[in-house]
Structure 1
Amino acid sequence: MAGDGTGHLTLLDLLSNSLILSHIAPYLGLTSLYALGSTSHAFKSLVFESHNAFRYLDLSTVKYASGLTSAEDLTESDLQQHFGRSFVTEDDFYSDPLRQIFTRLTKKNILRDVQTLILDGLSVPADLIREIICDEPFNVRILSVREAENLNERKLMQVLKYAMRPSRPEGTPKLRALYIFGPKDQPPMSDKDDDAFTDSSANRQEAVSRNLRSSASPGIHIASSWNHRSQHALSSALSRSGNDWWQGSGRVIARPLPDWAEIVQLCEGVIAFDAILCRGPRHNPRSILRPEDQVDSRSTLPFLRPAIATIALGPEGCNNCHSSPEGAAIYGKSKPKELPLLAPPPFHSSSVRAAQMPPPHLAAGDVHLFARCEECLRERWCESCNKWWCESCYDGQPTVTLTILQQRELYEELLAAGASHSHSSEESIKGVKRDCWECGRTCATCIARTQRKCKSCTGGYCILHNEGSSATSCDWCSTTRPQTRDLY
């Protein structure tokens, strides 16, 4: 039996199993793997000669990669002395920390084994991404550059256009997934982050700890400590589940994405992104050019150019027909281009299928995914409850032209018709209106919950965002000071 000579299994024997090493290595990080390899010749051979140890490489946690000095703090002679040449570009300076890391990894024949590379929040110029995508030493299949600094997105678009040129060599580019639109992952929860637990769970943990401390067995005390850490790890994993697209979280991507839709469309079938194109009928030229292909004969909306779907609408579909003209995207049945990459990038696989896999509790069944751009949901999407209507079900009813009080009165009248008809009454009130700037465009149901008519001044107000207001009076009428308004 392998071991330390006494019949016991050692850590070296455990990590010598390639399956175990490939599952543990992504959680260790680059610094810990280097420290493990420096302990002995056996571990050095195991770590640096194995193809599984560095398959997943996260450099966002490496201090040297993020410790960048501003170019304004260095003189021209300092730059020339550091780089060894007289001419230094801005991209050369900002990519220098990562280039030095890549050089060290190349000398140890590690860089060729990296298939998933995480560079979130680091200084990553577009020229460096071009080398990662196009140059020979790299075999990266999943690349994450979310919230990267000094990244010129226009130059990155040109890099992707070059990588997707018709005359490119067969089998290129090797990159299959690019994370760039979403926010970077939050760091794992530390032992000091006790705010994630409720008071009741903390009290139960303290009671268990007191009982275990009174026990004579030190093994139980160690088990209690690891149990406490596992709770932190579980809470951290749940907070990074990345299922916003499938749960219908509303606006998933907040920043504007000019011209990115054309690049995503150009890369379809080769490179997947953490966003997808909107498949609304207004983006389909056939439904605009041929009247018989239109979803609804009443539809006279103009054609839209390709756009990124920035709003996740959830699995329920249209509030009226529970579907959509373009149909839902289903994992395992729809085309890969219809599914976004989910965060965080997979630890134990470098395939697009694994990166698009929804959480286990959703992947078990045929869960539908609906996502659209904001232009395809104009006047038909509630920013508060995420309710929406498709082109076939919404025909421009005058709900959006009603005032706050008229919408509330209509809603109360329909609900007063009977509890058995309450659901159908809500569905009959279609459209959205912006009565509160903070609430955004909301449906009649949300307006009835948040908008009130002041009994004193008969004006409308929002009970959520008008500080000082009450259930019957607006913030102005609720004050105790004399009812005079200052002109200046």
Structure 2
Amino acid sequence: MTQASESHNGLPTEIPSCALLQLLANSLVLSQTAPYLSCYDVLNLAATARPFRFLVYHTPNVFRRLELGNVKTAQFDIDAIDRGGETWRNVQLDENLTEDDFYSGPLRGIFSNLRRMDILRDVQVLSLDGLSVTAELVHDILVDPAYSVRILSIRGVKNLNERKLRGALQYACRSSRPRGTPRLKGLYVFGPRDTVPALAAAHEGSGSSSPTSPATVATAWNNRSQKALSDALAEEPEAWYVRRGSQFPHRISSEWASTLVACSGIVSFDSVLCTGPRHFNSPAWGTVNTEALDAAASSTAPSVPHFSVATHSLGGCASCGAAPEGWTVWGEEVVASRRESDGRRTSESCMTDLARFPLLAPPPMHSASLRVAMCPAGQTVRSRLPFIPTVKQQKARFIPRCFDCIRDRYCGGCHRWWCESCYIGPRASSPGGYAASSTGPDSVSSPFPNTSAASDDNAGLVSKIRDGVCADGKCSLGQR
């Protein structure tokens, strides 16, 4: 057999003789298929033959998305760090080994191999969920020019020092940073790891070997398809825009708020800042009497910080159907003002700051764009044309709040809540409370001039929430 030569378009002549090669020779097909395969499988494909190697290593975006959570060599299963004389990956553990070198050793070894194979520079979406990730490793991803990661997922990782991570993020987003840095634009860090539904076995409950007859094969694949469909239907609703209530299974440190403020407009996260009227960043800040709210709050309620990370997604207020700060609407255009050279201020329509929107799980499969990572299901990535909602397609919107801003006014069962303009709090008319009136025990002095004076929602005598659920006892648990 003569040695194969390359055609004028740079592709080996073996491609037309193989159906799989002919299919993968289409760069669009290969780049859209590769994200569903593990890095191990893609490299094995490249090792099968020279034409496959040519396609894998010379097609753009094959390694654009890299998920290492299911790679065996990336797992960290060592418990202790100071076992003298023990060898780990052919490296002697001694006193010169730093903590970061130890805990990030598996991933640094993989990144070193990818850099040597000239693959690391192509990775734009990197998922390290559940692995051993240190703050120093994330710092290297932020500042090292060898990395081109734009979206990073480190949810549920081990050995991560969050204090050092926050410092690394604030340093990377400092005002004196070099131009064009950091390359990282999105970070998944607060949410839980993505659950991968397991397909049912071809012969669930049977001890027979692999099927041989066409009928048996058809039955096996039909069962697997039904199981896959059931798993897809059983998936949780989309975070923030569909799923109401708490969005995270664990508590988020209050120190993350200053990091989100420092990274605003530079790096986005899978959460946003709370927009309650008590925070400085809220559009409704200064429009609500915070003294009345503090006086009507429960005795155990702490003071609300200037900035806070949103942990709950809410719908409209149970009374007015909205919120003092308004909705966070995907694709909504805002009017931004700018000052001209002559001092006049003009207004122009522009897209809303992306810092208002959270990253949605899972990380995008075929793009490294922030808009794609933030775009809710059924919505357009760019809303340049006027959006006309239909019966089947409405605007995706939600109200982000921290727990301090919904304390004593949110039901954890049915997710109903009452905004600050409609309901002051459970102690609004208690002895010594802000709203206590000298004219009688049933009269309430409302601090909100724009609300109805006769509204029962501001009475305070009838508490809306008791022990975290509706006080009227009509809460429908589990309603979304």
TM-score (norm 2): 0.74
Question: What is the CA–CA distance in structure 2 between the aligned matches of 1:267 and 1:341, rounded to whole Å?
Answer: 14
- Residue 32 of structure 1 corresponds to 41
Matched, 1:307 2:297: no
Preserved contact between residue 46 and residue 56 of structure 2 (Cα < 8 Å):
yes
* Correspondent of 2:127 among 114, 118, 123: 118
What aligned pairs does 1:177-216 form with structure 2 within 5 A after superposition? 177-192=186-201
AA at the equivalent of 2:123: V
Question: What is the CA–CA distance in structure 2 between the aligned matches of 1:249 and 1:297, rounded to whole Å?
Answer: 26
Which of 391-400 and 344-353 deviates more? Answer: 391-400
Evaluate the alpha carbon distance shift between residue 26 and residue 355 of structure 1 in structure 2; reply closer, same or farther with a 3 A threshold. same
Question: What is the CA–CA distance in structure 1 between the aligned matches of 2:394 and 2:193, rounded to whole Å?
Answer: 28
- Residue 239 of structure 2 corresponds to 244
Task: In structure 1, list runs of 5 or more residues that go unmatched.
Answer: 196-201, 203-212, 402-423, 435-440, 451-462, 465-488
Which of 16-25 and 143-152 deviates more? Answer: 16-25
- Residue 198 of structure 1 corresponds to none
AA at the equivalent of 1:321: C
The offset of 1:426, in angstroms, is 11
Question: What is the CA–CA distance in structure 2 between the aligned matches of 1:318 and 1:245, rounded to whole Å?
Answer: 16
Q: Secondary structure at the match of 1:276?
A: coil
The offset of 1:108, in angstroms, is 0.8
- Residue 251 of structure 2 corresponds to 255
- Residue 317 of structure 1 corresponds to 316
Question: What is the CA–CA distance in structure 2 between the aligned matches of 1:222 and 1:6, rounded to whole Å?
Answer: 31
What aligned pairs does 1:98-177 form with structure 2 within 5 A after superposition? 98-177=107-186
Question: What is the CA–CA distance in structure 2 between the aligned matches of 1:33 and 1:80, rounded to whole Å?
Answer: 24
Question: What is the CA–CA distance in structure 2 between the aligned matches of 1:389 and 1:366, rounded to whole Å?
Answer: 22
Q: Deviations over 1:368-397 (max 9, x none)?
A: 211200110111000111000000011336
Preserved contact between residue 122 and residue 148 of structure 1 (Cα < 8 Å):
yes
AA at the equivalent of 2:60: H
- Residue 418 of structure 2 corresponds to 389
AA at the equivalent of 1:374: F
Q: Deviations over 1:205-263 (max 9, x none)?
A: xxxxxxxx99x9x4x87566555444444444555566121124311123232300100
Q: Deviations over 1:417-441 (max 9, x none)?
A: xxxxxxx99999662011xxxxxx1
* Correspondent of 1:51 among 57, 60, 64: 60
Preserved contact between residue 68 and residue 97 of structure 1 (Cα < 8 Å):
no
Evaluate the alpha carbon distance shift between residue 252 and residue 303 of structure 1 in structure 2; reply closer, same or farther with a 3 A threshold. closer
Question: What is the CA–CA distance in structure 2 between the aligned matches of 1:161 and 1:398, rounded to whole Å?
Answer: 40
Preserved contact between residue 284 and residue 325 of structure 2 (Cα < 8 Å):
no
Preserved contact between residue 121 and residue 148 of structure 2 (Cα < 8 Å):
yes
Evaluate the alpha carbon distance shift between residue 172 and residue 449 of structure 1 in structure 2; reply closer, same or farther with a 3 A threshold. closer
AA at the equivalent of 2:272: I
Evaluate the alpha carbon distance shift between residue 288 and residue 175 of structure 1 in structure 2; reply closer, same or farther with a 3 A threshold. closer
AA at the equivalent of 1:166: S
Preserved contact between residue 71 and residue 93 of structure 1 (Cα < 8 Å):
no
What aligned pairs does 1:201-350 form with structure 2 within 5 A after superposition? 218=214, 225-238=220-233, 243-253=238-248, 254-284=250-280, 293-295=286-288, 299-301=292-294, 304-313=305-314, 316-333=315-332, 334-350=352-368
Evaluate the alpha carbon distance shift between residue 285 and residue 173 of structure 1 in structure 2; reply closer, same or farther with a 3 A threshold. closer
- Residue 369 of structure 2 corresponds to 351
Question: What is the CA–CA distance in structure 2 between the aligned matches of 1:297 and 1:127, rounded to whole Å?
Answer: 41
The offset of 1:367, in angstroms, is 2.2
Q: Secondary structure at the match of 1:320?
A: coil
AA at the equivalent of 2:29: I
Question: What is the CA–CA distance in structure 1 between the aligned matches of 2:316 and 2:394, rounded to whole Å?
Answer: 16
Question: What is the CA–CA distance in structure 2 between the aligned matches of 1:170 and 1:286, rounded to whole Å?
Answer: 29
Aligned length: 399
AA at the equivalent of 1:136: P
AA at the equivalent of 1:318: C
TM-score (norm 1): 0.72
Question: What is the CA–CA distance in structure 1 between the aligned matches of 2:90 and 2:320, rounded to whole Å?
Answer: 68
AA at the equivalent of 1:263: T
Q: Secondary structure at the match of 1:244?
A: coil
Evaluate the alpha carbon distance shift between residue 294 and residue 66 of structure 1 in structure 2; reply closer, same or farther with a 3 A threshold. same
Q: Secondary structure at the match of 2:91?
A: helix
The offset of 1:449, in angstroms, is 6.0
Evaluate the alpha carbon distance shift between residue 113 and residue 231 of structure 1 in structure 2; reply closer, same or farther with a 3 A threshold. farther
Question: What is the CA–CA distance in structure 1 between the aligned matches of 2:203 and 2:238, rounded to whole Å?
Answer: 24
Question: What is the CA–CA distance in structure 1 between the aligned matches of 2:375 and 2:423, rounded to whole Å?
Answer: 32
Q: Secondary structure at the match of 2:399?
A: strand
Question: What is the CA–CA distance in structure 1 between the aligned matches of 2:15 and 2:71, rounded to whole Å?
Answer: 38
Preserved contact between residue 247 and residue 311 of structure 2 (Cα < 8 Å):
yes
- Residue 444 of structure 1 corresponds to 471
Question: What is the CA–CA distance in structure 2 between the aligned matches of 1:237 and 1:348, rounded to whole Å?
Answer: 20
* Correspondent of 2:400 among 361, 368, 371: 371
Evaluate the alpha carbon distance shift between residue 194 and residue 81 of structure 1 in structure 2; reply closer, same or farther with a 3 A threshold. closer
The offset of 1:77, in angstroms, is 6.7
Question: What is the CA–CA distance in structure 2 between the aligned matches of 1:444 and 1:262, rounded to whole Å?
Answer: 35
RMSD: 3.8
The offset of 1:89, in angstroms, is 0.8
Preserved contact between residue 241 and residue 343 of structure 1 (Cα < 8 Å):
no
Q: Secondary structure at the match of 1:167?
A: coil
Question: What is the CA–CA distance in structure 2 between the aligned matches of 1:5 and 1:54, rounded to whole Å?
Answer: 23
* Correspondent of 1:431 among 464, 476, 479: 464
Question: What is the CA–CA distance in structure 1 between the aligned matches of 2:89 and 2:222, rounded to whole Å?
Answer: 53
Question: What is the CA–CA distance in structure 1 between the aligned matches of 2:15 and 2:403, rounded to whole Å?
Answer: 67
Q: Secondary structure at the match of 1:261?
A: helix
Question: What is the CA–CA distance in structure 2 between the aligned matches of 1:54 and 1:285, rounded to whole Å?
Answer: 39
Preserved contact between residue 85 and residue 94 of structure 2 (Cα < 8 Å):
no
Evaluate the alpha carbon distance shift between residue 186 and residue 4 of structure 1 in structure 2; reply closer, same or farther with a 3 A threshold. same
Evaluate the alpha carbon distance shift between residue 119 and residue 17 of structure 1 in structure 2; reply closer, same or farther with a 3 A threshold. same
Preserved contact between residue 14 and residue 51 of structure 2 (Cα < 8 Å):
no
The offset of 1:47, in angstroms, is 1.2
Evaluate the alpha carbon distance shift between residue 432 and residue 241 of structure 1 in structure 2; reply closer, same or farther with a 3 A threshold. closer
Evaluate the alpha carbon distance shift between residue 278 and residue 320 of structure 1 in structure 2; reply closer, same or farther with a 3 A threshold. same
Quick one: higher RCO (CA 8 Å, sep 6+), 1 or 2?
A: 2
The offset of 1:169, in angstroms, is 0.7
Larger helix fraction of residues: 1
Question: What is the CA–CA distance in structure 1 between the aligned matches of 2:255 and 2:196, rounded to whole Å?
Answer: 31
AA at the equivalent of 1:294: T
